Amino acid sequence: MYNPTDNKLLKFFPTEVTNKIFPRLKLVKLRLGKVIYESGQSLTHVYFPIDSIVSLLYVTENGSSAEISVVGNEGLVGIAVFMGGESTPNRAVVQSAGYAYQIPASVLRSEFNNDSTIRMLLLRYTQSLIAQMAQTAVCNRHHSIDQQLCRWLLLSLDRLRTNNLTMTQELIANMLGVRREGVTEAAGKLQKLGVITYKRGHITVENRDMLETLCCECYAVVKLETDRLAEFSNKA
């Protein structure tokens, strides 16, 4: 069964804090495609994913979108509640179905304001998330769809317990902000190389080492920041 410490961020919360907030956590199921919040919406809850993945998307006025970061069991969804804003300029959508722990925004905000250890931990996580956003912008601008797909698959794998992803090519295209035909072509290349198998919305990564070889440097940069967060948390 699930436990709050299955989320790596919650795992590093000090005991005196977990004693207060863990009873306030509620385990919720997040279905694929569920919109957790829309751009400009006030955030009433924060989510700590366990085996689900949430994509943060920027949506333009004409309705097109592109992913700016992903959040899984390494972090939380809803940093705006402790960063001085009640709302956020992006949309949060469930990319991979699963479970997450939900907590009222006011509870986490109170701990952020009153506990220096929690404050430093959450700010350090926010720094890693900003680094991911910046690297995603660079990747989307300068690297091929093939490389973007490799990066996206690797980031997803790091946040799942298996090497299987349930994801349609259309949804991947929406995440990357590219045409579906481009994703179909890129996925076809990976399948021919034996890196993945794809069938009816299910992707299985067969050769992670080759996937990393084919990827641009963006994945390694983001992973380094995530690993630094774990190192910082262990020292805290």
Residue range 152-172, pLDDT digits in tens: 999 999 998 889 888 777 878
pLDDT at residue 59 in the model = 80
Average pLDDT over residues 162-184: 83
Q: Is the pLDDT of residue 233 over 70?
A: no
DSSP run (H or E) holding 65: strand 65-71
- Higher-pLDDT residue of 5, 84: 5
Q: What local confidence, expressed as pLDDT, does residue 176 receive?
A: 81
Domain boundaries, the chain: 4-115, 141-220
Lowest mean pLDDT across 1-5, 82-86, 197-201: 82-86
Which tens digits make up the pLDDT trace of 104-155? 999 999 999 999 999 999 999 999 999 999 998 888 889 999 999 999 999 9
| CA atoms lying within 13 Å on the CB side of residue 88 | 21
Report pLDDT for 234.
63
- Write the CB contacts of 143 (distance below 8 Å, at least 6 apart in sequence): 151, 216, 218
| pLDDT, tens digit (0-9, with 9 covering 90-100), for 6-22 | 999 999 999 999 999 99
User: In whole angstroms, how far apart are CA 25 and each of 21, 88, 101, 131, 194?
Assistant: 7, 22, 6, 28, 42
pLDDT tens figures, 25-44: 999 999 988 999 988 888 99
| Gap between the Cα atoms of 35 and 50, Å rounded | 17
Q: How far apart are CA 91 and CA 205, in angstroms?
A: 28
**CATH no., domain 4-115:** 2.60.120.10
pLDDT of residue 105: 94
Architecture per CATH, 141-220: Orthogonal Bundle (1.10)
Say what the pTM is: 0.89
Q: Give pLDDT, residue 73.
A: 94
**Average pLDDT in the 160-188 region?**
85
pLDDT tier at 232, thresholds 50, 70, 90: low
Residue 236: pLDDT band (50, 70, 90) is low
pLDDT level of residue 53 (50, 70, 90 thresholds): very high
